[in-house]
């Protein structure tokens, strides 16, 4: 069994605006989380529109426990981003992979700080000014699933009708040991930058949409 890690917690508010959230009744206080799929939905149902993580997402520290803690927090950020909730968080990247990793994660709500990058200010500026909803999303249709990726500037589509893919994505969604995913599927998804590998874990990057925010041709 992997070592246990503390579950994340957030400070949450009913409004994203810095001034509005200081008004009476806007604070939801400290909300302990379970590191389970329903955390983001529960925060949304509580009225949270801004959340602050209790600790950084640390992808620079080696080891399975650190990877598990980082993936748990990334799951929350991804699922809150999908609901347009503003997330205040900090990111630590391994210097040898930082230039690539921040772009891989750039569909998430931009962090406050990034550590490990030689030119973090430039990367953060690009992340903040180029971020928008539905930058990396997936949807499931009858007999297929499709991913739409705009992290690299152009629109890239990945469509799969292999019935093994939905099952693989369901396992990857919360982060799973790489050996638990069929090697050919994991290799293909990794080549398309759709999974993040942290230590021995593989994690599903896109967030799910149930309906388009714009006309289908514009997404």
Domain end, chosen from 87, 109, 132, is at 132
Residue 215 within a domain: no
pLDDT at 150 over 80: yes
Q: For residues 186 and 150, state if they share a domain.
A: yes
Residue 189 vs residue 209, higher pLDDT:
189
Q: What is the pLDDT of residue 158?
A: 93
Q: For residues 15 and 31, state if they share a domain.
A: yes
Task: Quote the DSSP letter at residue 25.
Answer: T
Q: For residues 40 and 144, state if they share a domain.
A: no
Residues 5-15 pLDDT 10s: 555 689 999 99
Q: What is the pLDDT of residue 141?
A: 87
Q: What is the pLDDT of residue 214?
A: 55
Q: State mean pLDDT over 110-130.
A: 95
Q: Alpha-carbon distance 149 to 134, whole Å?
A: 8
Residue 163 within a domain: yes
Q: What is the largest CA-CA distance in the chain?
A: 53
Where helices occur in 52-141 by DSSP H, the ranges are: 64-81, 98-104, 120-130
Q: For residues 106 and 13, state if they share a domain.
A: yes
Q: What is the pLDDT of residue 88?
A: 97
Q: For residues 120 and 181, state if they share a domain.
A: no
Q: State mean pLDDT over 69-87.
A: 95
Q: For residues 120 and 144, state if they share a domain.
A: no
Q: What is the pLDDT of residue 1?
A: 41
Q: For residues 171 and 121, state if they share a domain.
A: no
- How many domains does the chain divide into? 2
Residue 201 in 3-state DSSP?
strand
Residue 211 vs residue 151, higher pLDDT:
151
Q: For residues 127 and 32, state if they share a domain.
A: yes
| Mean residue pLDDT across the chain | 91
Range of the domain at 42: 9-132
Domain end, chosen from 132, 163, 181, is at 132
């Amino acid at each position: 069994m992997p070592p246990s890690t503390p579950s994340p917690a957030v400070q949450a508010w009913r409004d994203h605006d810095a001034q509005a959230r200081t008004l009476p009744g806007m604070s939801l206080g400290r909300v302990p989380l379970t590191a389970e799929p329903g955390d983001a939905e529960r925060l949304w149902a509580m009225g949270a529109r801004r959340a602050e993580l209790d600790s950084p997402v640390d992808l620079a520290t080696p080891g399975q426990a650190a990877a598990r803690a980082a993936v748990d927090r990334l799951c929350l950020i991804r699922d809150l981003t999908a609901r347009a909730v503003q997330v205040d968080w900090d990111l630590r990247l391994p210097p040898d992979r930082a230039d690539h990793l921040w772009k891989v994660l750039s569909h998430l709500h931009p962090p406050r700080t990034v550590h490990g990058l030689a030119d973090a200010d430039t990367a953060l500026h690009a992340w903040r000014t180029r971020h928008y909803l539905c930058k990396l999303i997936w949807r499931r249709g009858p007999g297929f699933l499709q991913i739409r990726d705009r992290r690299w500037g152009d629109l890239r589509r990945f469509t799969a009708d292999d019935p093994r893919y939905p099952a693989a994505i369901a396992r990857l969604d919360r982060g799973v040991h790489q050996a638990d995913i069929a090697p050919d599927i994991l290799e293909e998804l990794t080549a398309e930058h759709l999974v993040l590998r942290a230590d021995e874990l593989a994690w599903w990057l896109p967030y799910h949409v149930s309906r388009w925010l714009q006309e289908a041709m514009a997404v």
